[in-house]
Amino acid sequence: MLLNLSMALMLWLVIGFLTGIKLIFVDEVLSKEHLDRVRDRVGFSESHYFVTGKKTVFLSICTLMGFLSMYYYIQGSINRREK
């Protein structure tokens, strides 16, 4: 039972970590140009600047979110393609 739980937790964290790495380095969601476009559309508060200002904070949040970060990434990709 404990082995299954630990394997599920490791899978959760690995999926989140790989999604975060893809978002940071492949899709470059933390690039200056992308963040400027998002800031113009949404408007940022202090907590937004904290998360987007540092890659390590963004990566740790994606890692802890696990499958949720991958789900929201896929959902956002589908929504962008439909528009």
Asked whether the CA dihedral 42, 45, 51, 53 is positive or negative, the reply is: positive
pLDDT in tens, 6-55: 999 999 999 999 999 998 899 888 888 877 777 777 777 766 777 777 88
Threshold 0.85, pTM exceeds: no
Biggest alpha carbon–alpha carbon distance for the chain = 49
pLDDT in tens, 47-76: 677 777 788 888 898 899 988 988 988 898
Q: Which pLDDT value is given to residue 13? A: 94
Domain ranges of the chain: 2-82
